[in-house]
Amino acid sequence: MSTAMSALLIAGPTASGKSALAIALAQRLGGWVINADSMQVYGDLRIITARPTPDEEAAAPHRLFGHVDASQNYSVGRWLADAEALLDEARAAGRLPIFVGGTGMYFKALTQGLSDIPAVPDEVRAAIRAEAADLSPAELHARLVARDPQMAARLRPTDPQRILRALEIFAATGRSLADFQGARSAPLLDIENCRAVFLAPDRPALNVRIDARFDQMMRHGALDEVQQLAARNLDPALPAMRAHGVPGLMAYMRGECSLADAIERGKRDTRHYAKRQFTFVRHQLPGFEWMTPGEAFGRLSIDIAPAAPHIGRD
């Protein structure tokens, strides 16, 4: 790889303005906007995940948005393989890859490599999911404590997706997922040859934006979108079924709470997620430069524009 900047990485908490920044920079620098958000990959969920609108997608080339069906369990490994192919395409086309999203694990895998975890056979995954179908997250976590206490100590009892993953690995290998997390594959990008930024808005202002955006999503059809997803009767443990706002709205549809309570739950879950995004980047992505959304476009445009024409194959 040449010493020219190989990619622009824009991370940030939900509702921080990442997508608008990425589009503006893609237009200015001749780049491709590549999704690094684990929920915006799902085609069923445009509104509730705040995926770019069709008009926004038309403003600059977008990749890896809405290309996965909600029935699939799209993993970090699958995303990394897709990202590798797009990096090759972008370099061949002489375009700047602009990765944008809020999933810290995607950026970590991209710049630090991926843990060498064995594949889980389909029949093992199906058996674990069947056992877990009627269990609450707390009950799932208790089951993991009994089988793999080392990994259980690392996971929140309210994170069923990662708990299921740990149970699957233990069932397939007889070993703790923690045993496999030390060895990592070579990273696709050397962060020293990238510009990596984390948008860090003022937290109280961000919470206001999160609440206002959720209200806007409801006005634009989020409830209808979630109703269509619910009608598919998918496994509730699938990632798409856990997108912020989806569990609460589905509970409302089942008559378990009021719509106002479902909306408040969606806002609260999103605010809590934003807090975790700050924490993850602070501890897991040390190579990212923190800046406010207000200063980001000006600084990045000035710093990157002279180097943009040199992006391409060595």
Q: Taking the domains of the chain in order of start, what are their residue ranges? A: 7-114+184-310, 122-180
| CA–CA separation, 97 and 5 (whole Å) | 10
pLDDT band at residue 131 under the 50/70/90 scheme: confident
pLDDT (tens digit, 9 = 90+) per residue, 256-272?
A: 999 999 999 999 999 99
43 compared with 114, residue with greater pLDDT? 43
Q: Are 293 and 21 in contact (CB under 8 A)?
A: yes
Comparing CA positions, the residue from 126, 122, 127, 128 lying closest to residue 148 is: 128
CATH code given to domain 122-180: 1.10.20.140
Task: State the pLDDT confidence band at 7, using cuts at 50, 70 and 90.
Answer: very high
Question: What pLDDT score does 51 carry?
Answer: 97
Question: Burial letters for 119-147: b for 16+ Cβ neighbours within 10 Å, e otherwise?
Answer: ebeeebbeebbeebeebebeebbebbeee
Which pLDDT does position 122 carry in this prediction? 81
Q: Report the side by side order of strands in the sheet with 96-101.
A: 62-63, 31-35, 96-101, 7-11, 194-199, 289-291
φ, ψ for residue 34 (rounded to 5)?
Answer: -115, 125
Looking at residue 197, the DSSP 8-state letter turns out to be E
Second-level CATH architecture of 7-114+184-310? 3-Layer(aba) Sandwich (3.40)
Query: Model confidence over 28-44: pLDDT tens digits?
Result: 999 999 999 999 999 99
DSSP state of 184: B
